[in-house]
Amino acid sequence: MSDTKVFLLPDLGEGLTEAELVNWLVAVGDEIRVDQPIAEVETAKSMVEVPSPYAGTVAELHGRPGETLDVGKPLISVTPAGATPQKPAEAAAETYREEEKAGSGNVLIGYGTPGGHGATRRTRAPKRAATAATAVSSTEAVVPEPDVVPGTDPAEAPELTLLRTRVPGKLGAVISPLVRRMAREHGVDLRSVNGSGESGLIMRRDVEAAIHAPAGETAEAVPAEPSTAPLVEPPRTTSVSEDTDARTGLGISSRTPVKGVRKAVAATMARSRSEIPEATVWVDVDATGLLELRDGLKAGGAQPPGLLAFIARFVTAGLKKYPELNTRIETASDGSQEIIGFDGINLGIAAQTDRGLVVPSVRAAEKLTARELDAEIRRLTDVARQGKATPAELGSGTFTLNNYGVFGVDGSAAIINHPEVAILGVGRIIDKPWVVNGELAVRKVTELTLTFDHRVCDGGTAAGFLRFVADAIENPSGLLAEI
């Protein structure tokens, strides 16, 4: 019996059942070590690196970038050093107990031990010695035979290869799956593109330049510069302008798969709308006092917390007074329901990212000061936008705070982040006429909007909470002294 090991895609947390394979970090023939990252996958929660529980030689990669893989299905086959390679059919029949066989004390969001992220991600197998037939002069560029992606039909090889263009004095320019797909869709011959990346690597910007170059011209390499592109590619669309929509009679310009974060958001919002009898209350608030308090702290030489951190502090205080809004409803198999209360507040902060809307949560937010909340909100927003927030950070909230004022709008009847029971929205702060002590004045005004589950409380409770937060914003000094 062969010793080839089959690593199955693990549950990456929160009971997720599938993940999209974004990129392989190893190739067939590579020598890998235990806990070495082997692939990047995107779940409905975040982008994560999957480490290997085995050391040895990569025998087979089960999947192509862009594919959606089910949890529990083969991800990679590894032949331990000195073992006899086995056929894919034999390898697929083997399973393993992850932590015991990996010898790993941690779980990545599953797997991996500290120190598993080395500076070198892969150790390549020795390349075949060059023969006289492959020798060329230093002034010529050579395109060798493409390496076919393992597990594909040879007939599909031209569409599924990792092209390596050798340029005199430079290393091979490996084209990423995303760049290759863009080039294929727009009819760009990668062999005619000059790469602007390190060692001649062909970047996305190079293909874009080739797409927009006048006919008959070869795009020159774009000067390399620090990339400002998001760490995660936006949803990919396929041009299908030749299709016609039967309902409207219009040409279909693109089709965008609903997957990853967008799929998770859609499912959560649809469930929220179908299950929760929601109601909404709102109030205009004079935020002049809060802005003056923050300006005073800044004038004193201190770096004050952001406005959202102050509001978060008021929210946690309000939830202590009105705990009905910091609950969850659970339905038993017999149809009976319970309202589950919590000893603590995990405050979710809605954050717009390139991957979609995500809601990382500040754990035990009721124990933090405004300054501590500010630091944690900034940290969570940053990791969420990088796609590095963990499932625990993204799925443990008990109440959500949504600052949609940053988009320049005043109000919104937000959808509750199921299975929570309430969400508070904050609109933009703008100058408005306001009556102060019987006289008209120009004040800094914002709108607070609370959407709540009518099953857990009535309008009086919701209004009481909203008024508590509004009063805190209008008179922050007194309330901050108390809380």
Give the C-alpha separation, 364 to 206, whole Å.
47
Q: How many CA atoms lie within 13 A of 187 on its CB side?
A: 4
Long-range contacts of residues 423-430, Cβ cutoff 8 Å, at least 24 apart: 423/350, 423/399, 423/450, 423/451, 424/315, 424/399, 424/400, 424/448, 424/449, 424/450, 424/466, 424/469, 425/449, 425/450, 425/451, 426/308, 426/311, 426/401, 426/402, 429/287, 429/291, 429/307, 429/405
Give the other-Cβ count within 10 Å of 279's Cβ. Answer: 15
Give the other-Cβ count within 10 Å of 48's Cβ. Answer: 25
Q: Is the dihedral of CA 367, 371, 374, 380 positive or negative?
A: negative
Of 48, 75, 417, the closest CA to residue 264 belongs to: 417
Give the C-alpha separation, 310 to 293, whole Å.
10
List, as one string, the DSSP characters of 268-305: HHHHHHHH--EEEEEEEEE-HHHHHHHHHHHHTT--PP
Take residue 442 and report the two structure tokens written for it: 């120009």
Give the active site residue among 62, 186, 418, 454: 454
CA-to-CA dists, residue 228 to 205, 269, 371, angstroms:
11, 31, 29
Question: Do the beta carbons of residue 214 and residue 236 sit within 8 Å?
Answer: no
Question: Do the beta carbons of residue 111 and residue 53 sit within 8 Å?
Answer: yes
Question: Do the beta carbons of residue 173 and residue 195 sit within 8 Å?
Answer: yes
Q: Phi first, then psi: what are they for 456, rounded to 5°?
A: -95, -20
Q: Phi first, then psi: what are they for 434, rounded to 5°?
A: -145, 140
Residue with tokens 């050579």: 142
Residues 6+ apart with CB under 8 A from 460: none
Give the other-Cβ count within 10 Å of 82's Cβ. Answer: 7
Known active-site residue 454: yes
Of 480, 443, 481, 478, the closest CA to residue 312 belongs to: 480
Do strands 68-70 and 56-61 pair parallel, antiparallel, or not at all (unpaired)?
A: unpaired
Give the C-alpha separation, 354 to 233, whole Å.
8
Q: How many CA atoms lie within 13 A of 445 on its CB side?
A: 15
Residues classed as catalytic: 454
